[in-house]
């Protein structure tokens, strides 16, 4: 009997430690992440950066906001200089307040790769998950290339 109680107490303690996490009070509840490094979207899109890396991109422009269908909230941001690999999806559950096409934002989150379960090709889409999006101004969306 004592062994069972000890085993249960040990398992509960281990579970509580494993589920510890974000104490910021923002409701994130995820694991504590390393401090975000300020990088460019070009860096996030590069293969050298590992999935799970905490990132911060500053002064990027919102080029699209997903408000259609059941999975609304994703926003698309791009480096103002444009060019190849200059954009990334920011995967949010709702559109952050004040965000619209042309907003200049700072995004802090985690590099992730999204893949459809049915896609057997191994292709993925780079995204920034678990984001915090802050509007810092307004600007002009770069022309498509």
In terms of Cα–Cα distance, which of 106, 112, 114 is closest to 129? 112
Note whether residue 62 is domain-resident. yes
The per-residue pLDDT for 87 is 96
Asked if residues 72 and 66 have their Cβ atoms less than 8 Å apart, the reply is yes
The per-residue pLDDT for 134 is 97
Count the Cβ atoms, other than its own, within 10 Å of residue 140: 9
The per-residue pLDDT for 72 is 80
Note whether residue 13 is domain-resident. no
- Which CATH number characterizes residue 110's domain? 2.40.50.140
Note whether residue 144 is domain-resident. no
Note whether residue 114 is domain-resident. yes
Per-residue pLDDT of the chain (145 residues; tens, 9 = 90+): 443 333 333 333 333 333 334 444 444 445 555 688 899 999 999 999 999 999 999 999 999 999 888 778 899 999 999 999 999 999 998 899 999 999 999 999 999 999 888 888 888 999 999 999 999 999 999 888 7
Note whether residue 97 is domain-resident. yes
* pTM of the predicted model over 0.85: no
Residue ranges making up the domain that contains 58:
33-138
Note whether residue 27 is domain-resident. no
The per-residue pLDDT for 32 is 58
The per-residue pLDDT for 33 is 56
Note whether residue 130 is domain-resident. yes
Alpha-carbon torsion, ordered 19, 23, 27, 28, to 10 deg: -60
Tell me how many domains the chain contains: 1
Note whether residue 124 is domain-resident. yes
């Amino acid at each position: 009997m004592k062994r069972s109680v000890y085993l249960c107490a040990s398992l509960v303690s281990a579970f509580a430690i494993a589920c510890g996490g974000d104490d910021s009070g923002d409701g994130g509840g995820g694991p504590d992440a390393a401090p975000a490094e300020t990088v460019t979207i070009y860096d996030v899109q590069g293969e050298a950066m590992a999935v799970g890396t905490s990132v911060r991109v500053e002064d990027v422009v919102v080029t699209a906001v997903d408000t259609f269908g059941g999975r609304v909230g994703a926003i698309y941001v791009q480096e103002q200089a444009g060019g190849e690999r200059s954009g990334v999806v920011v995967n949010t559950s709702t559109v952050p307040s004040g965000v619209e096409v042309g907003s200049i934002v700072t995004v802090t989150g985690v590099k992730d790769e999204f893949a459809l379960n049915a896609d057997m090709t191994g292709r993925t889409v780079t995204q920034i998950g678990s984001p915090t999006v802050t509007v810092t101004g307004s600007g002009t969306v770069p022309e498509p290339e």
